[in-house]
C-alpha cells in the first residue's frame, strides 16, 4: 500500500429532486435502474473476454518498456487473457498517453503510465491533447524507479555535502551531464543543483540520451550526473562510477548503503521515476477493481519482485484512490519545479 499521505477519500451523492416524477414513472424507471445497476456486476463477471491491449508509451527494448512488459506478462497469467503490448513511443510518452485517453472505456485498453506521461510532460507542455487527471481512471502504481546521483570516480567528493562544498569553492569548474535539455534527467539534476544552492557554480552539459551522459561522467568529461539507477548500478558496483545519493523518499534495497539526497543535507529534494496502470476515464469500477486485484497479485509475486529489484526498481501497489491522489500531488510538484527552474522542452 502507499503511504498514508497519499490516501484520498472520494464521496459522491446523487438524488432526485422530485418525488412526484419518480412515483409517476416508477413503472418505467425502476426496471431501467435495476438493469443499470446490474450491468457493472455483469461486466465484472465476464471481463476480460478477449485479449487486452496495454499501451507502452515507449520504444521497444528500453528500460521503461521492459518494466511494463514484466508486469504485463504476470497480468496475463492472472487474468487469463493475453496482454498485447502496443508500443507508441515518442514525445516523452505523450503520443501513447493521447491514444489511451481517447480509447473506449471498456477495460480493453490500458496504459502503462509513468512520471513522463503524467508528471513531467504535462508540467513541461501546455498543449497536450489529454488531461493527466481528468482523462484517466487510475488503477494502481506498480513500480518506483530510483534516480541516482553519481560522480566521476576521480572527483574528490565522497558525499553530497562534499560535492556541494567543492562546487562552491571552485565556481564553474564542475560540469554536470543530462540526457538533453527538457529531459527527465535534466529535471532531476537541475532541481538538485538549485536546491543545493550550486546552480550558479556549476555548468550544464546536455547529451543526447542517458547512455552518453553516463559515459561522459565515467570518463571525467563531466563530473556528476543524476539519472535512473537501473542504468548505472553495474558501473557503481564495478567502481566506474561513485554513488552519492538516491532521489527517492527512502533508500533503495539494491544499494542500501547509499543515502537519500534528503538525508544528505538537501531535505526538500525529491525526484524519482514511477510507473502505474491507468485506464481511460469512465471505465466501469468493477473492471478497475478486477485489474487492480491482478496488479496487486502480480507485484506481490516473487518472480516480478526479483525482476524489478534486479533493475533497480521497487515493486509497489496502491488503491485506485491512492494513485489518483499521488498523480495529482506529483503533477503539482513538477509544475512548481519546472516553473521555478525555467526548464523548456527542446
Give the pLDDT score at 223: 97
Name the domain count of the chain: 2
Per-residue model confidence (pLDDT) at position 16: 28
Nearest partner of 87 among 74, 76, 100, judged by Cα: 100
Task: Evaluate whether residue 22 is within a structural domain.
Answer: no
Among candidates 214, 199, 129, which has minimal Cα distance to 340?
Answer: 199
> Is residue 264, in this structure, part of any structural domain at all?
no
Q: Tell me whether the omega of the peptide bond preceding residue 48 falls within 30 degrees of 0, making it cis.
A: yes
- Output the pLDDT for position 253: 84
Given a cut of 50, is residue 211 above it in pLDDT?
yes
Residue 159 and residue 138 in one domain: no
CA-closest candidate to residue 293, choices 44, 9, 113: 44
- Mean pLDDT throughout 108-122? 95
**Segment 301-336, tens digit of pLDDT:** 999 999 998 888 889 999 999 999 999 999 999 999
Where is the domain boundary, 207, 230, 246?
A: 246
Mean of per-residue pLDDT scores for the chain: 87
22: pLDDT strictly greater than 80: no
| pLDDT at site 209 | 87
- pLDDT at position 127: 85
Give residue-wise pLDDT tens across range 236-263: 999 999 999 999 999 988 899 999 999 9
Position 45 confidence tier, pLDDT thresholds 50, 70, 90: low
Closest CA to 124 of 98, 96, 97, 91: 91
| Nearby residues of 79 by Cβ (< 8 Å), 6 or more positions away | 48, 52, 290, 291, 294
Question: 3-class DSSP state for residue 274?
Answer: strand
Question: Domain span at residue 179?
Answer: 146-246
- Whole-angstrom Cα Rg for the chain: 23
Amino acid 44: pLDDT: 53
pLDDT score recorded for residue 163? 98
242 and 150 inside one domain = yes
C-alpha 37/C-alpha 26 separation (Å) is: 16
Query: Are 163 and 235 contained in the same domain?
Result: yes
In a domain, 25, yes or no: no
CATH of the domain at 204: 3.40.190.10
Shared domain check, 176 and 139: no
Comparing 7 with 118, which gets the higher pLDDT?
118
CATH of the domain at 278: 3.40.190.150
More confident residue, 182 or 201: 201
Amino acid at each position: 500500500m502507499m503511504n498514508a499521505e497519499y490516501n484520498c477519500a472520494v464521496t459522491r451523492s446523487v438524488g432526485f429532486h422530485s418525488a412526484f416524477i419518480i412515483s409517476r414513472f416508477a413503472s418505467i424507471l425502476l426496471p431501467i435502474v435495476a438493469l443499470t445497476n446490474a450491468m457493472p456486476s455483469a461486466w465484472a463477471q465476464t471481463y476480460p473476454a478477449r485479449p487486452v491491449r496495454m499501451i507502452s508509451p515507449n520504444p521497444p527494448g528500453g528500460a521503461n518498456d521492459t518494466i511494463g512488459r514484466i508486469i504485463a506478462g504476470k497480468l496475463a497469467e492472472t487474468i487469463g487473457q493475453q496482454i498485447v503490448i502496443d508500443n507508441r513511443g515518442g514525445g516523452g510518452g505523450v503520443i501513447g498517453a493521447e491514444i489511451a485517453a481517447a480509447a473506449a472505456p471498456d477495460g480493453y485498453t490500458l496504459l502503462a503510465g509513468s512520471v513522463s506521461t503524467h508528471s513531467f510532460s504535462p508540467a513541461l507542455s501546455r498543449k497536450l491533447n489529454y488531461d493527466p487527471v481528468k482523462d484517466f481512471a487510475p488503477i494502481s502504481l506498480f513500480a518506483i524507479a530510483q534516480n541516482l546521483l553519481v560522480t566521476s570516480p576521480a572527483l574528490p567528493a565522497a558525499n553530497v555535502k562534499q560535492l556541494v562544498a567543492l562546487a562552491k569553492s571552485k565556481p564553474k569548474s564542475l560540469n554536470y551531464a543530462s540526457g538533453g535539455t527538457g529531459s527527465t534527467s535534466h529535471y532531476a539534476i537541475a532541481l538538485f543543483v538549485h536546491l543545493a544552492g550550486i546552480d550558479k557554480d556549476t555548468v550544464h552539459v546536455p547529451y543526447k540520451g542517458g547512455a552518453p551522459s553516463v559515459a561522459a561522467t565515467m570518463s571525467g568529461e563531466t563530473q556528476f550526473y543524476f539519472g535512473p539507477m537501473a542504468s548505472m548500478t553495474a558501473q557503481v558496483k564495478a567502481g566506474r562510477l561513485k554513488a552519492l545519493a538516491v532521489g527517492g523518499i527512502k533508500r533503495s534495497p539494491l544499494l542500501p548503503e547509499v543515502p537519500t539526497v534528503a538525508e544528505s543535507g538537501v531535505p526538500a529534494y525529491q525526484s524519482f521515476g514511477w510507473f502505474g496502470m491507468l485506464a481511460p476515464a469512465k471505465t466501469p469500477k468493477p473492471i478497475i477493481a478486477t485489474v487492480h486485484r491482478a496488479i496487486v497479485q502480480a507485484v506481490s509475486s516473487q518472480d516480478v519482485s526479483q525482476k524489478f529489484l534486479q533493475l533497480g526498481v521497487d515493486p509497489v501497489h496502491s488503491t485506485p484512490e491512492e494513485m489518483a491522489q499521488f498523480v495529482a500531488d506529483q503533477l503539482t510538484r513538477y509544475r512548481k519545479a519546472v516553473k521555478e527552474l525555467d526548464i523548456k522542452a527542446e
